[in-house]
Homo-oligomer: A and B are copies of this chain.
């Protein structure tokens, strides 16, 4: 009798070559597989809710796999955190029904993108540099909010998908409708932290929640919103960009360091 497991993970993605296992490179899936093998002697390939890219962080990534060894959940979590590298932590471990799959069972995913606004000459603290994108341009937050609202709801997000043919069809979505770039966004907004002190400007945060995401979709949305924020695009151009279904119409891909996979929602 094997047990099927669901792990909730947090990681600092800076020093990993992304989620997906690659020979000879430090990856999150590889580190987790190694740690499980070291504890149980069983070599499994944990399935993630999606494959985060190199440099992308997670506050609540989910992975699933099966083990023959009978282990209490709290022991599995403690043992994994003892052998995993400090930038990768198990926040929760729970046995789940055998039909649970971290990616296929996912209903919704939430991402956040953090920007340090440095236009005023403010210096990004070194302790934040790994976890935010530093923008040197003055940003029009009202225009960025208007642009973010324009992608809410159901759209064909081809203009915001990675153009590499291998990557575009790659499942980075929670519930991937086969062969379509249509996704539904339930939440898409910019917020700014309350100002803690006068020397350091507060972070800008883009939060987006949807039923699925194409590869690079969040970073391409953010890159486009930043282009709106510094006046290169008008917020009114977002529906036009969506309608074009053409990656070249949207803005550049924002850097990985600002992106956090926040939460995956599954059926109760």
Interface segment, one of A41-49, A83-91, A96-104: A83-91
B123 x A86 contact (CB < 8 A): no
How far is B122's CA from A74's CA once the two chains are assembled, in angstroms? 12
A126 x B81 contact (CB < 8 A): no
Interface residues on A, range: 20 to 34
Looking across the interface, which residue of chain B has its beta carbon closest to that of A260?
A: B127
Looking across the interface, which residue of chain B has its beta carbon closest to that of A13?
A: B126
A126 x B10 contact (CB < 8 A): yes
Contact digits for A100-126, partner B, Cβ 8 Å, 1 yes 0 no: 000000000000000000000101111
Known: A78-B121, A121-B78. A11 touches B126 (CB 8 A): yes
* In the assembled complex, A215 has its CB within 8 A of some CB on chain B: no
Known: A78-B121, A121-B78. A127 touches B57 (CB 8 A): yes
Main secondary structure of the interface of A (DSSP, over half): mixed
Shortest CB distance A239–B (Å): 36
CB-CB under 8 A from A126, the residues of chain B are 10-12, 57, 86-89
How far is B89's CA from A87's CA once the two chains are assembled, in angstroms? 23
* In the assembled complex, A206 has its CB within 8 A of some CB on chain B: no
B123 x A81 contact (CB < 8 A): yes
How far is B124's CA from A88's CA once the two chains are assembled, in angstroms? 10
B57 x A123 contact (CB < 8 A): no
* In the assembled complex, A225 has its CB within 8 A of some CB on chain B: no
Please list 29 pairs of residues, one from A and one from B, whose beta carbons are closer than 8 Å in the complex, sorted by A's number. A10-B123, A10-B125, A10-B126, A10-B127, A11-B126, A12-B126, A12-B127, A12-B129, A12-B130, A57-B126, A57-B127, A74-B121, A78-B121, A81-B123, A86-B124, A86-B126, A86-B129, A86-B130, A86-B134, A87-B126, A87-B129, A88-B126, A89-B123, A89-B124, A89-B125, A89-B126, A90-B123, A91-B123, A127-B131
